[in-house]
Amino acid sequence: TPQIIYYIILKMLSGSRNGLFLCLYMYWTDWGEVPKIERAGMDGTHRSVLIDSEIYWPNGLTLDYDLQKLYWADAKFSFIHRCNLDGSGREVVVKGSLPHPFALTLYEDTLFWTDWNTHSIHACLKHTGENSHEIHTNIFSPMDIHVYSQKRQPLGKRLVRELVCKAFCLLPPPSGHQQHGATQLLLLARRTDLRRISLDTPDFTDIVLQTDDIRHAIAIDFDPVEGHVYWTDDEVQAIRRSHLDGSEAQFVVTSQVNHPDGIAVDWIARNLYWTDTGTDRIEVTRLNGSMRKILISEELDEPRAIVLDPAAGYMYWTDWGEVPKIERAALDGTERLVLVNTSLGWPNGLALDYSERKIYWGDAKTDVIEVMQMDGSGRRVLVDDNLPHIFGFTLLGDYIYWTDWQRRSIERVHKHSLEREVIVDQLPDLMGIKATYVHQTFGVNPCALDNGGCSHLCLYKPQGVSCACPIGLELMADLTSCIVPEAFLLFSRHTDIRRISLETNNNNVAIPLTGVKEASALDFDVTDNRIYWTDITLKTLWLHSSGLERHACSGRGPGRCGHVTRSACVPVSFMYWTEWGGRPKIDRAAMDGSGRITLVPNVGRANGLTIDYTERRLYWTDLDTTLIESSNMLGLEREVIADDLPHPFGLTQYQDYIYWTDWSQRSIERANKTSGQNRTVIQGHLDYVMDILVFHSSRQSGWNACASTNGHCSHLCLAVPVSSFVCGCPAHYSLNYDNKTCSAPTSFLLFSQKTAINRMVIDELQSPDIMLPIHSLRNVRAIDYDPLDRQLYWIDSKQNAIRRAQEDGNQSETVVSGSSLGLQPYDLSIDVYSRFIYWTSEVTNVINVTRIDGSRVGVVLRGEHDKPRAIVVNPERGYMYFTNLQERSPKIERAALDGTEREVLFFSNLGKPVALAVDNELGKLFWVDMDLRRIESSDLSGANRIVIEDSNILQPVGLTVFGNFLYWIDRQQQMIERIDKITREGRTKIQARIASLSDIHAVHELRMEEYNKHPCTSDNGGCSHICIVKGDGSTRCSCPVHLVLLQDELSCGGTHHTLMEKDALFSSSDATEEPSFPPTNTIGSIVGVLMLLFVVGAVYFVCQRVLCPQMKDDGETMTNDFVVHGPPPVPLGYVPHPGSLSGVSRGKSVIGSLSIMGGSSGPPYDRAHVTGASSSSSSSTKGSYFPPILNPPPSPATVRSQYTMEFGYSSNSPSTHRSYRPYSYRHFAPPTTPCSTDVCDSDYTPGRRAPHASSAAAKGYTSDLNYDSELDSS
């Protein structure tokens, strides 16, 4: 029953200490700020205070079943008292002769207790306290005490006979057993967990639902019919549900969800509604996630809270956009009405009072709670005092409940008397809440019976049932049944792609797509049921089926994607297109681009080119002459179809009709394809429809040779008129001599953006750079490439992981999962010969080594003040170079690949070096400094430091060496540039207007003969762990810091010394290490260790007395800053970095290992122990927010060790709460918020999604570079 104690007792008490007894009642002592003895039913109900006077340190507690008495011992007042079980009849048993009583028990007529001062067990008569004597002495630390006897656990009446509880059987005091739990609940969504609070009891204990993988919960709702909890998760981008106990959690909606916000359950029609502030839509689906439909997608800016009145047929929602408002619509999205649009700021919360027909809402910007009638009349302020930042908001019965971000509390107010109460206090990361009956429902509408007669969705509105169809289906004429349409119109606008029925009532419906910024051209693949479109703003080509994938675009220039007109593939294997530049025309060519001819030379800006495959004719709109024209497939027999059109733009054809869009009329129209007669407006009130087409199989009929086995081509099969087909290659690939297979490029540049990785081939004229089809990139920070396996590696800071994939996007997988290990990978570099990944961690501040297969090698470099960030390995020479961004003392350092031979190359004239590059051909090291805005270089030894470029560099974040040039990226200028690495001349802009640049990397051809010559290539040089090439071409084996090299000088293992030091070493070691320590008992190892310790002591003495005073740098690690611009190849007066002494062993330097072990880093700060801290674990900052504690702790059991959290506070801390007034939370101040001071007038607005946008500050740390992950949580 530990869970019973935890959930019912420990989480209820702020400072509880001792006794807990379970009968029909349980009793406990509380020595907190208000010392007392309490009792409650075994289910936690009926809590009451029995004793709260003449009490200070109530320690021991026991019951006398025979006399129905309660005994307790007070260590401060030195007495033992007793009373009746209801708290009456208090009597003195023993007084004055008790130095420090602790635990207490009873057997028959004798009391027994332990005493800390006497270190003994004492006894006396339970009635009078007489015959006091010691029964056992000389106990080092006497703690608890019990009598082992059947009499101490007497059998009672069997209250539970045939009924079986599903979980715990908890007996409340009145009678019987309680199987069904609370009748009213308050459901709470925190950032990373869900909780429930019973509203039936006055203690408001919160219980965590046992549901995993909650990343950023926003809103929560409940279905009282099936007992499911529903919530939205902004980071997972999904809607989920589980049972009320958190079991059987499942995803309900996962696709085309951007920032799901508000959520509402229609418990009558069994539908689920939600708002999405990313797509700016309100959607509906069945409770199981099926039959999804977009209800409202127009004139929504930032929709948030949504509530339903299913009995009346209305839904209500808030919008906190530029024009905040509260709106109402029928449950099918019709009859939309603005109720309030004045004097609003951030209307976060919304609640309905069904009985009194009122709407309540909370505003986080105006800091008020308001109310009005459901028709929008009678608006008035209900509460306007002390409401710093309302977010979650709900109503049940006579009470309004809300969460407050700044106060970190849940409060409620009586809707009539305005009596206000804090029910949960000092609980961080509060989001949405829902007060609900567990089983009770109310209201009815026709959708409750046989789904209202609808085949799919039943959406009730005031006039009656409205049947609706999910996406992909259309409503038949009977208005109840849905069918799969044979054909429909697709059209694109700037922010969405929609469809219109050609067979029913021509209603247009949005297709649920995310990430559409400025859609332009459209096409589809009827075989795969996919839609393709181009996006002018994103400069990408997208496709949509059941999911959304990103594919490479034809270029990055302005409009090169968006204004490409759709080419038409016909059975005779030609493509047709229009050109606007120079002399506008319509051209034709074979599918491989050969045989190009001009069909229609004398034409204006032709657009919307389409083909009538049946009649073999071309149709197009002319934007200059505002005509719709037609010709045969050779450009002859040209005819005008329509000539009185204001502004025709897009065009398509289906059966006997042509369909076009008109920008002036804001319409989609149709007419006869031959005469232009019978013009009909299909849809009006549409702004700037970019493209239009008919989705039907007849629009993609026919066959060619590529349809069979792709023509046996390895990549592209291109149909041509004469030879039937030719094989082609994707951009940057070359066709081999067999004319069927393609070879990938071997030398190229890679550069990354926030959500894309691109390849650039410098000598490629047609398409120098393309976006690689690698999906699910969230926030790319650093990249590298393995030329042996041709795999791309990257760090995704959003996922805290190192991932890899092939260039075509296949075999995408995680190599290092930082999230599960509590790490934050920062930069990486691959040793292609040993097949290792070297990477730095922003959290643990170490350099890790992981094998290519994902197995761990260990940490090779760690120091107390180290902050290694950028890293590049040079396995050809056995070194690694890294930046060390120590506070106020950034450095560039070099070390062997095992972390030994460490030396500081530069520590002066540095701002923030953020990227490194090694050129073995010239023997040069290059780096870029973000703060100083310049690029520098030196020899690999650190000599001959020079500035390469320092003009017009704004925010350099990456550089690499490729051929004769040095390439770098500038994030602020959105530019890739290069300069001659030798002459420092010929600075050239390679690419411009590339947003969110993060890294650049050069890939050179891997020559296998050179690769095989490297001594570490074959079986890692025989080394079990790290293989390092030496200057003479031989190798030495070495080990990570937690292992040492064994006598065979090849293998790593543990020694007697490492076993003794293992615990100290790993108390702060990186979480990636899971070392094993082979046992060894050899005398030689022990003697060797002792000798090494002697050497260490001698070196330490010499260092402290002679060298260190001269080499210390303001208390930081010893450094060596030799002449940075001068020519000396070796620093004058060089002293190696601690741990770099070589020659002691052939493997890992023992001195280096010891220095690293001794310098293990602890948490950034230690929060001092607060005397008398309660057992509740809560978030805290430095200092005390509440009055100091009067009572010191009465027991060593309450002495807490120092906190070990590495950053700020934990968002997963157990609950602390303020129940009814006497029980106030104390001891710790709450973690600070962006608006926890009086100077914050307008609340926190970190971005567009201000009211609940997350920030890196909430994680307790900030990055060394302002990556998009820290600036934009979306």
For residue range 383-397, what is the model confidence (pLDDT) as tens digits? 999 999 999 999 999
- What's the pLDDT at 155? 74
* DSSP label at residue 456: S
Give residue 880's pLDDT: 97
CATH of the domain at 107: 2.120.10.30
Task: Write down the pLDDT at residue 1093.
Answer: 66
Q: What is the CA radius of gyration of the chain?
A: 37
Q: What is the pLDDT of residue 1190?
A: 37
Looking at the fold, whether 806 and 726 belong to one and the same domain comes out as no
Q: Side chain identity at 967, as an amino acid letter?
A: Y
Render pLDDT for 485-523 as a digit per residue (tens, 0 to 9): 777 888 888 778 888 877 666 667 777 777 777 788 888
Token pair recorded at residue 821: 């290990």
Are both 123 and 269 inside the same structural domain?
Answer: no
Clarify whether residues 64 and 49 are in a common domain.
yes
Which of 115-119, 525-529, 727-731, 881-885 is predicted least confidently?
525-529
DSSP β-bridge partners for residue 519? 535
Q: Please compute the mean of the pLDDT values over residues 402-409 and round it to a whole number.
A: 93
pLDDT tens figures, 933-949: 999 999 999 999 999 99
Tens of pLDDT, residue by residue over 544-556, are 554 333 343 434 4
Q: Which residues contact 462 (CB under 8 A, 6 or more apart)?
A: 312, 313, 314, 330, 335
Query: Is pLDDT above 60 for 677?
Result: yes
- Domain residues for the domain of 27 are 9-136
Q: Judge whether 786 lies within some domain.
A: yes
Sign of CA dihedral 1092, 1097, 1102, 1103: positive
Cα distances (angstroms) measured from residue 206 to each of 27, 201, 372, 389: 20, 11, 31, 22
CB 1069 within 8 Å of CB 1164: no
C-alpha neighbours within 13 Å on the C-beta side of residue 75? 27
User: Contact at 8 Å (CB) between 871 and 1264?
Assistant: no
Amino acid making up residue 1268: D
Quick one: how many helices (H) and strands (E) in the chain? 8, 91
Q: Residue 72's beta-bridge partner residues?
A: 61, 81
Q: Is 1215 left (phi over 0), alpha (psi -120 to 50) or beta?
A: beta
Please state, in angstroms and rounded to a whole number, the distance separating the CA atoms of residues 870 and 829. 9
Does residue 408 sit in the same domain as residue 447?
yes
763 shares a domain with 735: no
SS3 1142: coil
The answer to whether the beta carbons of residues 260 and 431 sit under 8 Å apart is no
Report the range of poorest mean pLDDT among 580-584, 788-792, 1246-1250.
1246-1250
How many C-beta atoms lie closer than 10 Å to residue 667's C-beta?
17
Distances (CA, A) of 410 to 133, 186, 387, 936, 1072: 52, 10, 11, 55, 39
Q: Average pLDDT, stretch 832-848?
A: 95
> For 836-846, what is the mean pLDDT?
95
Distance CA 911, CA 913 (A): 6
Three-state SS letters, 1173-1231: CCCCCCCCCCCCCCCCCCCCCCCHHHCCCCCCCCCCCCCCCCCCCCCCCCCCCCCCCCC
* In the predicted structure, residue 460 carries a pLDDT above the cut 90: yes
Of 211-225, 674-688, 1026-1040, 1158-1172, the one with minimum mean pLDDT is 1158-1172
CA dist list (Å): 5 to 27, 173, 175, 624 = 12, 17, 21, 80
What's the pLDDT at 852? Answer: 95
Model confidence at 27: pLDDT above 70? yes
Domain assignment of residue 622, yes or no: no
Q: Is the pLDDT at 795 greater than 70, yes or no?
A: yes
In a domain, 301, yes or no: yes
Q: Which pLDDT belongs to residue 528?
A: 75
Structure confidence at residue 731 as a pLDDT band (50, 70, 90):
confident
Residue 752 · residue 794 · CB < 8 Å: yes
Residue 41 pLDDT class (50, 70, 90 cuts):
confident
Instruction: Identify whether 79 is part of a domain.
Output: yes
Domain annotation covers residue 463 = yes
More confident residue, 187 or 818: 187
pLDDT of 478? 87
Say what the pLDDT of residue 502 is: 78
Amino acid at residue number 119: H
Distance from CA of residue 750 to its chain's centroid? 26
Specify if 596 maps to a domain.
no
Do 113 and 237 share a domain, yes or no?
Answer: no
pLDDT, position 1064 = 38
Structural contact between residues 902 and 891, judged by C-beta atoms closer than 8 angstroms: no
Q: How far is CA 929 from CA 970, 1037, 1263, in A?
A: 11, 34, 16
In percent, how much of the chain has pLDDT > 90? Answer: 55
Region 872-888: mean pLDDT is: 95
CA angle (807 as vertex; 836, 522 as ends), nearest 5: 150
What residues contact 731, with CB distance under 8 A and at least 6 apart? 552, 764, 766, 767, 770
pLDDT at 329 over 70: yes
| Sheet bearing 903-906, strands edge to edge | 868-874, 879-886, 889-896, 903-906
- CA pair distance 285, 456, nearest whole angstrom: 10
CA distances from 457 to 306, 311, 393, 470 (A): 19, 16, 28, 7
611/613 Cα distance (integer angstroms):
6
Report the alpha-carbon distance of residue 406 to residue 1229 in Å, rounded. 12
**Pairing mode of beta strands 924-929, 913-919:** antiparallel
Sheet holding 314-319, edge to edge: 303-309, 314-319, 325-330, 337-340
Residue 289's Cβ-side half-sphere holds a number of Cα atoms within 13 Å equal to 15
Q: Residue 978: inside a domain, yes or no?
A: yes
Q: Is the alpha carbon torsion for 797, 801, 805, 809 positive or negative?
A: negative
CB-CB neighbours of 658 under 10 Å: 24
Distance between CA atoms of 1261 and 1259, rounded to whole angstroms?
6
- Residue 78, both tokens: 């030195």
Instruction: Specify whether the CB–CB gap between 957 and 971 falls below 8 A.
Output: yes
Q: Name the 3-class secondary structure at 1270.
A: helix
Identify the pLDDT of residue 1169: 30
The reported pLDDT for the residue numbered 1112 is: 38
pLDDT tens per residue, range 1187-1203: 333 333 333 333 333 33
Assess whether 51 and 86 both reside in one domain. yes
Give the integer Cα–Cα distance in Å for 1245 and 1253.
Answer: 8
Does residue 789 sit in the same domain as residue 922? yes
Both structure tokens of 175: 């009678």
pLDDT above 70 (res 1180): no
Final residue of a structural domain among 70, 102, 136: 136
pLDDT score of 875 more than 90? yes
Q: Specify the amino acid at residue 1081.
A: N
Name the band, by pLDDT with cuts 50, 70 and 90, for residue 560.
Answer: very low
Fill in the DSSP letter of residue 302.
S
Tell me: do 843 and 780 sit in the same domain: yes
Residue 834 within a domain: yes
- Give the pLDDT band (50/70/90) at residue 66: confident
Residue 201's pLDDT band (cuts 50, 70, 90): confident
* DSSP codes, 466-494: EEE--TT-EE-TTSS-EE--S-EEEEE-S
Strand order in the sheet with 368-373: 347-353, 358-363, 368-373, 380-383
Average pLDDT, whole number, for the chain?
A: 79
Q: Is the pLDDT of residue 1213 over 60?
A: no
CA 698 centroid distance within chain: 44
Is pTM, for the whole model, over 0.75? Answer: no
Comparing CA positions, the residue from 205, 200, 706 lying closest to residue 423 is: 205
Average pLDDT of 278-289?
Answer: 93
Residues 213 and 125 in one domain: no
The SS3 of residue 343 is coil
Q: Kindly report each contact of residues 32-39 with a partner whose C-beta sits within 8 Å and lies 24 or more positions away, as own/partner.
A: 32/1174, 32/1191, 32/1226, 33/1189, 33/1190, 33/1191, 33/1224, 33/1226, 34/1222, 34/1223, 35/1191, 37/61, 37/70, 37/72, 37/87, 39/85
784 and 727 in a common domain: no
Reading the block at residue 486, the tokens are 């044979």
Number of neighbouring beta carbons within 10 Å of residue 839:
28
Amino acid at 1175: S
* Tally of domains within the chain: 4
The one-letter code for the residue type at 965 is: F
| Residue that finishes a domain, picked among 978, 1005, 1032 | 1005
Is the predicted pLDDT of residue 1240 greater than 80, yes or no? Answer: no
Q: What CATH code is carried by the domain that includes residue 722?
A: 2.10.25
**Closest Cα partner for 844 from 596, 567, 1067?**
1067
Asked if residue 1234 has pLDDT above 70, the reply is no
What is the arithmetic mean of pLDDT over 116-141?
91
Say whether pLDDT at 1073 is over 50: no
Beta bridge partner(s), residue 394: 401
User: What is the spatial distance between Cα 214 and Cα 229, in angstroms, rounded to a whole number?
Assistant: 13
Kindly tell me if the per-residue pLDDT of 1053 is higher than 60. yes
| pLDDT at residue 541, as a whole number | 62
* C-alpha–C-alpha distance, residues 902 and 1119, integer Å: 10
Looking at 418, 437, 471, the residue that finishes a domain is 471
How many C-beta atoms surround the C-beta of residue 899 within 10 A? Answer: 28
Q: Is 1262 in a helix, a strand, or coil?
A: coil
Q: Residue 642 has which token pair?
A: 């329509």
Q: How many residues does the chain have?
A: 1274
731 and 767 inside one domain:
no
pLDDT of residue 1215: 38
pLDDT score of 798: 84
* HEC assignment per residue over 860-897: EEECCCCCEEEEEEECCCCEEEEEEEECCEEEEEEEEC
Of 430-434, 479-483, 817-821, 1089-1093, the least confident: 1089-1093
| Helix spans in 686-815 (H) | none
pLDDT of 1133 above 60: no
